[in-house]
Structure 1
Amino acid sequence: MKSIVYKSAQDVAAEDRAVPELAADEVLIKVAYAGICGSDMFIYQGTHPRAKAPLIMGHEFSGVIEKGHPTLAKGTPVTVYPLLSCGECEPCKSGNPHVCNTLKLIGIDCDGGMAEYVKVPADKVVEIPAGLSLKLGAFIEPVAVGVHAVRRSGYKPGDTAVVYGAGPIGLCVASCLKYFGARSVIVVEANPYRLEIAKKLGFITIDAANDDVVASVKAATQGLCADFAFDCAAHPSVQATLMDVIKVRGTAVVVGSYKKPPEVDLLKIEFKELTMIGIRVYERRDFEIAAGILGSGTIDFELMLFVSTPEQAPAVFQDLLKGANAIKMLFKL
């Protein structure tokens, strides 16, 4: 089968691999589309702490059942909930397996979906609703991150929010806020291309490279500032304004993963009685909600998606590393 294999730092290749053999309680999926995530870029650069070469990456993908599922027939459109939890630690036993103490992921800790076929545990298969394309089905996982961030934040319809970063996760968070009835969503981004996509999606935009972020947020909120700020950029510069763009008793939500711990002004948290919340991945329910949002037709998610072939993988990863103008790159398998 055709596969995209991580071989070493900045070295991926399209190779022919054997179709996986199934063990008990495993399902074989014929992959349609597989997306490149930020964690895949960490793997590509050789900086991911767990991923080991050779590895078929990919934890956000769609396809159809090939064989092995106890109830879903061959050809059923599916995606995969890629979290592998231990089931034994305190978070798992208390109903929070998505923050398992030893959390692993398909496509990081074992071979994933950047191949024509992938095997997964049967209980990780999620059926894609009728009418949702396999292309959009491969985007359920990133949208689920946005759903989880908004649900966990305490957001209520009619609130205002600032989203830092117009990459895939930032735009997914912003889109979920819009879908759930935010009064206004303000996106802060320095990249001109991503700013333009955010504008096309209907968000208020602030150019982080040229605008005064705090003054611009105040202007957009009639001087009130926002109820929430979502840090999806994970860039140290965000912390310079994150606490200033939210109201007294507002909430800052850290969604992006920082490479190094940033400096945080705890005095602002204390003086304004702010709340700071961390987000890690998603829960199973978030996948179901994300599928509904994608299928609603209320947001043009196609604006974010770009499709390439496995043979182009080496060039695609290099282009993304250099900052190519693409929001979410998918491989069509």
Structure 2
Amino acid sequence: MKAVRGHEGRPVVIDVAEPPGWDEGELLNMAVAGICASDLNYLRLGTRFILGHELAGRKADGTPVLVEGQFGCGRCDFCREGRNNLCDQSTRKALGIMQNGGMVEQFRVPTHKVLEIPAGLDVSNASLAEPAAVAWHGARVGGTAPGRTVAVVGGGSIGQLAAVAAQTQGADDVVMEARYPHQHAIRERMGVGEPRAGERYDVVIEAAGSPSSLRRSVELVKPGGTVSLLGVHQGGIDVPYSSLLTKEVTLVASMGYCGHAGRREMLQAAEMLAARPEIPDSLITHRFPLEDAAEAFRVAGDRESGAVKVVIEVG
């Protein structure tokens, strides 16, 4: 069977004799795998594992399913509470960099990490539920709720998903700062406005992972407000401390997704996508067959290409 793994900093299509994954896991026929900024970073770091953690496929009986692509030990207090994102084994089990991921025709997954796709969300779009769950978590831990206003800094896929998550979680007003024209077109289609001159927001979701986006987030937040860090800041963060201090801003680092209040955040995110089909229609801008993985990754890594979310159609 075919799979995509890292080799000398680039993705290559290989043949594997056996499905990767967990020996006692449920065997899934994979349908789609989204390309994440993390996958691009794993290649830069020299991974030789099979890539892919934004995954959807089918059970042996044809049932379409999601894969919760974040794993813990399954035994600690955090895992038992459904908060496996905080388990100290979570980063050590990262798909695509610490062990094989699911960008492969068949993949074995622990049964408790296999979730049925809600009605209304086609399996071809369902890999978007994984980054949507990350965005959902970031909006929630930032304090998004009815009666609050939210600004998102960064118009990539995770920023767009954070904006619609904030809408779904009941924020009174959601705005976004984006860089490229195609990002603004998606923002407008989602009913998300732009920050108004001089206005400040209760929650600011930093979704770009750059020093300038963090500084802008601190500028946009109200005194006493919260900045939720969804962007990945390699090597630390450059914080404008005087502004942080005088506003008494709370910084919250958002780590993946988890269970909360008896719900799985990935299912909540998938239900959001099912209820609003314009989200996957707008965000999934490019699709490639598995054999064209190299071109798919090239497009995903080119910010001038107009790509927002690129997916590989595995089967």
C-alpha displacement at 1:283, in angstroms? 0.4
Matched with 2:40 is 41
Shift of 1:75: 1.3
Supply the distance in 2 between the matched residues of 1:122 and 1:19 (Cα, whole angstroms): 19
- Give the aligned partner of residue 7 of structure 2: 7
C-alpha distance in structure 1 between counterparts of 2:81 and 2:62, whole Å: 36
Larger Rg: 1
Distance 1:330 1:227 in 2: 34
- Counting only pairs closer than 5 Å after superposition, residues 1-333 of structure 1 correspond to structure 2 as 1-9=1-9, 11-20=10-19, 25-46=24-45, 52-53=47-48, 55-66=49-60, 74-87=61-74, 91-92=78-79, 96-103=83-90, 104-205=93-194, 217-219=195-197, 223-284=198-259, 285-297=264-276, 299-305=278-284, 306-323=286-303, 324-333=305-314
Native 8 Å contact 2:121 2:277 kept in 1: no
Residue 125 (structure 1) shift? 0.9
Q: Count residues in correspondence.
A: 306
- Structure 1 residues 311 and 298, CA, compared in 2 at 3 Å: closer, same or farther? closer
In structure 1, distance between residues paired with 2:302 and 2:20: 37
Q: Which runs of 5+ in 2 are unaligned?
A: none
Q: Which residue of 2 aligns with 1:214?
A: none
Gaps of 5+ in 1: 67-73, 206-216
Q: Deviations over 1:26-78 (max 9, x none)?
A: 1110011110011101012236xxxx41x211111111112xxxxxxx21111
Deviations 1:277-311 (A, max 9, x none): 11000004101211211111275321110211112
In structure 2, what is the Cα distance between the partners aligned to 1:171 and 1:93?
Answer: 31
CA shift, 1:131, in A, is 3.2
- 1:8–1:46 CA contact under 8 A, matched in 2: no
Q: In terms of mean alpha carbon deviation, does 95-104 or 272-281 score higher?
A: 95-104
1:73-112 deviations in Å (ceiling 9; x for gaps): x211111112221245664467632112231223332222
How far, CA to CA, are the matches of 1:269 and 1:94 in structure 2?
33
Distance 1:117 1:294 in 2: 25
Equivalent AA in structure 1 for residue 24 of structure 2: D
How far apart, in 1, do the equivalents of 2:16 and 2:23 lie? 21
Distance in 2 of aligned mates of 1:43 and 1:322: 16
Instruction: For 1:322, give the aligned amino acid.
Output: D
Q: Separation in 2 of the partners of 1:64 and 1:322?
A: 31
The RMSD of aligned alpha carbons is 2.1
Q: Matched residues, percent identical?
A: 30
CA distance in 2, matches of 1:121, 1:170: 30
- Amino acid of the residue matched to residue 282 of structure 2? L
Query: Which residue matches 1:211?
Result: none
